[in-house]
């Protein structure tokens, strides 16, 4: 694939990372309901099997391992997370940024670091729960993972927290309403609002 030129695009690229269970999906869902923000969420490709209720093309693009390998060159970043491949298709992201829309990538820290290298203007936001005990409780309450998966996610969380220092903004997702407000304000400050003049 021809190298994508990520410079001089009017939209801002936002990376949202944080341990599984820290609240990234909840926060993004709430942000999308806010008027005044011009946001699109990138849909990742993955080899992870769909969970109950998940749909290909809406939640993820669910692929077999060979299918994932076939599109690897078209990805802005990719990583192995919890035993599966995940990656961000580059072209939809570039198109949205070209149209002045901000794009949020909800991806892991390994992916965030790759984005930092390719797109230096990207804003990297790291979300964490108030503590590992709260994180564990949230994973259990969510009820989507079995015990082995919860343990894997907690071990991974410790690694992600160590790499979080490369991120520009750190958000502790304690009270949900306050966290959504804080995140929305950060996005407006970073030119993701409809009413912001880009010049």
- Binding track over 44-63 against ligand 5GP, x by CB under 6 A: x---x---------------
What letter does residue 49 receive in the DSSP assignment?
Answer: P
Q: Is 21 helix (H, G, I), strand (E, B) or coil?
A: coil
Nearest one of 25, 62, 54, 57 to 179, comparing CA atoms: 25
Whose tokens are 């010049």? That residue is 199
- Contact residues toward ligand ADP (CB under 6 A) are 18, 20-26, 138, 141-142, 173, 176, 179
| CB of 199 vs ligand 5GP, minimal distance in Å | 32
| CB of 190 vs ligand ADP, minimal distance in Å | 21
**Which of 6/126 has CB closer to ligand ADP?**
126
The separation between CA 1 and the C-alpha centre of its own chain, rounded to angstroms, equals 24
Out of ligand 5GP, ligand ADP, none, what residue 119 binds, judged by CB under 5 to 8 A for its kind, is none
The separation between CA 73 and the C-alpha centre of its own chain, rounded to angstroms, equals 20
Out of ligand 5GP, ligand ADP, none, what residue 108 binds, judged by CB under 5 to 8 A for its kind, is ligand 5GP
Is residue 104 within the footprint of ligand 5GP (CB under 6 A)?
no
| CB of 35 vs ligand 5GP, minimal distance in Å | 26
**The length of the chain, given as a count of residues:** 199
User: How many whole angstroms separate alpha carbon 123 and alpha carbon 90?
Assistant: 17
Is residue 81 within the footprint of ligand 5GP (CB under 6 A)?
yes
Neighbours of 160 (CB within 10 A): 21
User: How many whole angstroms separate alpha carbon 53 and alpha carbon 56?
Assistant: 10
Kindly tell me which residue out of 86, 90, 96, 125 binds ligand 5GP, with binding defined by CB under 6 A: 86
**Which of 104/192 has CB closer to ligand 5GP?**
104
Residue closest to ligand 5GP (Cβ): 111
Site for ligand 5GP in 117-156 (CB under 6 A): none
Is residue 77 within the footprint of ligand 5GP (CB under 6 A)?
yes
- 124 forms bridges with which residues in the sheet? 15
DSSP-assigned letters across all residues of 77-129: EEEEETTEEEEEEHHHHHHHHHTT-EEEEE--HHHHHHHHHH-TTPEEEEEE-
Out of ligand 5GP, ligand ADP, none, what residue 79 binds, judged by CB under 5 to 8 A for its kind, is ligand 5GP
């Amino acid at each position: 694939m021809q190298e994508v030129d990520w410079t001089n695009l009017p939209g801002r690229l936002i990376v949202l990372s944080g341990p599984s269970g820290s609240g990234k999906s909840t926060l993004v869902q709430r942000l999308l309901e806010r008027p005044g923000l011009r946001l699109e969420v990138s849909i990742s490709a993955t080899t992870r099997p769909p969970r109950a209720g998940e749909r290909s093309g809406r939640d993820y693009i669910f692929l077999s391992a060979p299918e994932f390998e076939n599109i690897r060159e078209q990805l802005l970043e990719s990583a192995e997370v919890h035993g599966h491949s995940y990656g961000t298709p580059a072209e939809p992201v570039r198109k949205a940024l070209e149209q002045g829309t901000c794009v949020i990538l909800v991806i892991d820290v390994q992916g965030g670091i790759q984005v930092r290298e390719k797109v230096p203007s990207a804003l990297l936001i790291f979300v964490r729960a108030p503590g590992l005990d709260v994180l564990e409780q949230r994973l259990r309450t969510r009820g989507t993972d079995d015990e082995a998966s919860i343990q894997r996610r907690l071990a991974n969380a410790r690694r992600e927290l160590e790499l979080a220092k490369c991120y520009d903004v750190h958000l502790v997702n304690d009270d949900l309403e306050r966290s959504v407000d804080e995140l929305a304000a950060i996005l407006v400050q970073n030119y993701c609002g409809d009413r912001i003049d880009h010049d």
